Structure 1
């Protein structure tokens, strides 16, 4: 039976397809703006040469305090053909004689000028900063601004070349998950890039990821729907990209610092992992690897975390057996998220309270991992359990690797990493409620058993086996 025929029988647009389509539309709306992001992060601001007599506060106040800014500008910066200050050259020496002349000076010898050797002064009335002001990509270096955009587009080209093969080789979802991870890390690190070369390299990786994400979202929408809904799904995917482009314009209007804008556009990509197992290990390792940020006495906290592991796992066993898998994992993940959000508001002086909360957070983390391992094994059918657990292992390791990287954001706002850890816990807990309950259910042997038919299937198999034994 063809896959499309199977979709016709089980439902062309059920709950699964609707949730999946909504997720992919959200992906496109968040990812697509990165194509146009440099319209705002790499904008070329008005600029002129930095000159000692004009821009050195000490000199301006003491030696030339009676002269206006415009007067000092006139004797320091030559005018271009439009009678505006030159952007890339300045007078070698102040031209005081210009203060006593009016009009043009065609009969005079042109004063000697030179390129900007001490840097530039930028007009920050529209934007506070950009990659241009970060690395002075003006005048002789202005072409490098286009080079940065070329790197991103080259990445998109490379992504288009390899996307098809890798997608067919490793599967749509796995490659989509990896590309989301790569884009989130590359674009977040781009905001913190120490050099222009590092920034271009990160934008190259971002371009490769963007193409792969946008291609695979459309593929999955089309392939999981019947021809009746395929045109609608593909169109909605494109519309979501367009809406994302409008959103970035609004963000850029309110955020005029390129570092902040880059982070605001990149960090939400991390939250797209709430539907995967990033979401469990990200906050877990965020807690375990950064104990020094939570309490000064690391030795005591490490000991208490080890001591609390046994009672926390016992509690997880009790809740799994009496409350079910979904409720247990939802509860522990949500409480862990609340812990991350609460610890932000506890002053560092209250070390006893911080140690108690960190110990409780560690216990919730241990319980969450126990529930996660149990639930994952019971959800997967036997024929693909090993493969599925391998993929889940890759996802959990990616989440673990991502946890320390998020601490880089502490440079801009100390609570930001903890907010991300907490929000990912709560959102992941809510997502768990979409999964089927597996408590007191037999392990599924096949994909057919996943549709709540495992018990019936097993009973039929046992009857057939008993009949065969009786006949023998």
Structure 2
């Protein structure tokens, strides 16, 4: 009963302008779609090195035996010689190669024969130099570090939209890698590609968070994470079908040119526009949101609203001018949150990409293992969505990090011959870190004020990419002890869980817009905890309850 009446009342309801961004409708769905599409392609670009510079079978070339068109498999190759050494021919060699043509001694090799030409390793001649292959992923992550740092500042200074457009179309730069013939040319382009495209993540995520209400922030984070995982799955499937590295790169680096259309399709964050005194643009954006979602608003009052009243509508009445960096970075509360989230974001990326890189070394087909590791991220996001909406942000993250750490350490303790137990613990760890990866991004958005959200998120993303930069080189620890990479992952995850004891809960609370709001909310929470009541009752709607 009352269903039809409720629908009629909802249809005839006149929304206050401040409620327009809290409503989740067609506009938000379109914004989410526009933000997720570049994330899919940038993700494929960001992980292409996993297969593009992957290892292939090779051996030393013996010109006397191989001729001008050598093949990898030869019956005469001495089985006792490693692939990085050249077997020495007998002094009285008769011109025919066989297993008895060699002395048993070896010498340094200078050229190689590859089993296939599927990877960049073959064409850039990286045989017996595994550090160069691992360095590609590290260099890419270094570019991402630079991108995340600069893109945060660009988002706050020039807007979320232009930053997203520029970073998204930067993926076409990857085509240049298919024309280079030297290793250092390749990694320079790899760095530049990452330095441009990396900002796509932070700009897109900020737009999604600031375009949706407090009830849909976690959903925004989960949907964005799914876009990343979809990119990983699509990339794995493309790599299975087209394993030649140049074709692979051309397939994933061509579509980003289409994101030039975002100049007209995507809308700027109205919160950013208001904070930067772009009042007329903000009113136009809010009107588009209302019209797209078919929300009734008092258009006469809206058109005539002045800057002060509009800021008051969004709890920005006391925000007279843009906050200085000194104000942001002299706040102890901001520093505490920043340091904790830097650790959490570092761990999320370090463990997530570390497990991804190490997945290709699991028993079985490397493409299948990579795909399995990616698929395990999907249930992790459902866990994050349910728990973070029902139980809050902080506690699910805290327990998620600790459980992930325990699973990683557990997988290190499992004997090598217990293959399925090791793989199961590995995949469960991947599931929990995927949930933490998304949850940490959403939590970061909610803990920082709008006035510096892009910059502070950029700093956290900087640490995230440091983690991503270290992840590709963790396999070099395996020769020291096979359990070392997993132990590093586990210790980092447990430390992050402990750090989360020092941050507040943000569930069901509006976004902070200024540093003053953040600090007042902390003082108010302390007073309430002592039973003294609210010091500023009028501020309750914008307070964050500190635990």
TM-score, normalising length from structure 1? 0.49
TM-score, normalising length from structure 2? 0.43
Q: Which has the higher contact order (CA 8 A, sep 6+)?
A: 2
**Between Structure 1 and Structure 2, whose CA radius of gyration is higher?**
1
